[in-house]
A = this chain, B = another copy of it.
Amino acid sequence: MIAELKITPLRYVLAVVDHGGFHAASRYLHRTQPALSMAIRELEGRLGEALFEKGTKATLTPYGSYCLPRFRELINQHDRLSRELQARAAREAGQLDMAVVPSVASRLMPKLLSEFVSRYPGIKVGLHDGNADFVREQVISGQVDIGLSSLWGSDEELQFQPLFHDEVGVVCRDDHPLAGRTSLMWQELQGESLIGNGTSRLLQGTAAESLLEMHDLYISNMISLTATLVAGMGVTTLPRLAFPQEYERLRFIELADPSVSREVGLIRRKGYSLSPAAQAMTDFIIESLGASGIPLQ
């Protein structure tokens, strides 16, 4: 038979000792003195030994003296835990990991993260980037709490919350014949040296699908792709967010017909709720991107 030591009576014992009496302790605890007497007597009954001497003064027995620091220790452990768990629930502490596609990582996350950490100083964020399949995999396996990417088709295991549309356009060097245009139709790309990349599958199922067959070159790595474009070896299609602004010689021209876009949104496991920290990030992202509409300049 193991006695259930409730935390409250232990606190009463500490208070009586610390304040030197039942009355003083009762004032401190906002309880009446008999409440303490009875609770402590109850505790003594459970333990099978008196904690306080019978006399008029509130003096500990040797057994009580032995118990006191142990009570204090248990209470401290309790309070520490309670505080920690409450802090997590209140988003004042915690940890979250998210997986995002590179375009989001480089164009969206810097500003988002800096605002997030200043709003939630206690939360630690882990950011992992990779292509859409990587993001999907990480979310499904539970390696990360949430993902930021686009999803093709519906997924049984995932829940997708759309955030914004990212229009696909053509990227070429500034001396290319099409470079000065603000928009164009897919037919105008006939005969161009078109380079495929990881986002090319966005064209599948659109009027521009036949462009996919024109690929002489397929480059998945973004650095290689841009270097190739800068070298003037061809053009490619990219969502606007994935267009690397930092290259002066590259131009982005909207694809007006057909209008092709990917839908970027939050990805999470279906049927699972989020950790408080991940929920905070989710709410924060929806609030940030939802309010400002299109997130890019």
Contact = CB atoms under 8 A, between A and B. Distances in A.
Interface residues of A, number: 41
A169 to B, nearest CB: 39
A294 interface: no
Interface stretch (A49-57, A159-167, A251-259): A49-57
Contacts of A61: 272-273, 275
A88 B55 contact: no
Contact of A7 (B5, B63, B86, B90): B5
Contacts of A4: 7-8, 82
A86 B53 CA distance: 18
B86 A63 contact: no
9 contacts: A2-B82, A5-B7, A6-B6, A48-B89, A53-B273, A55-B271, A61-B275, A63-B88, A66-B88
Contact of A81 (B62, B70, B272): B70
Contacts of A3: 82, 86
Contacts of A84: 70
A217 interface: no
A78 B5 contact: yes
Contact of A79 (B2, B7, B70): B2
